[in-house]
Every structure is written in C-alpha cells, then in structure tokens.
Amino acid sequence: MSLTMSDCTQLKTWVTKKTKERFAALARHQGLSDSALLKRLIELMLQSASAAELATIETAGCKSASNIDH
C-alpha cells in the first residue's frame, strides 16, 4: 500500500534543547534525519504492542485526554 501526504498527519512534541541535540546526534549516527528516526521508533513501538495493549491504552487515553488542562 502506498501512502500519500493526504493519508498522513504530523506528530510533534516539545523536549529540552539537550534532548533534541542528543536525538539528532543519534539519528545522524544511524544515517537518518530526526523525523525518520522518530517515525521508526513510533512504528517499532506500535508493532511490539499487542492488540489488547493498544485497546487498553486507547481507551485509557480517551478518558485521560479529556482531563488534561492546556
């Protein structure tokens, strides 16, 4: 299956400058961009999680997300 840009969305987070620098160094060491390494890590986490774990996490996430103050 081939993805297009309209099939995708952007995922962002805030980290310390030091964390960003260390992550970028790790990505470069592996011959990847920061975003490519982050994408790889996300995909590995999702692959390693069982369907039951994901269902539990998603249910808990929906409940806790409504309680977050922005």
Q: How far apart are CA 69 and CA 46, in angstroms?
A: 27
Contacts of 15 (CB under 8 A, 6+ apart): 23
pLDDT confidence of residue 45: 86
pLDDT confidence of residue 63: 64
Please state the pTM of the whole predicted model.
0.63
The CB-side HSE value for 23 (13 A sphere, CA atoms) comes to: 17
pLDDT confidence of residue 40: 95
What average pLDDT values come out for the chain (70 residues) when binned by 10 residues? Answer: 77 95 98 96 85 74 59
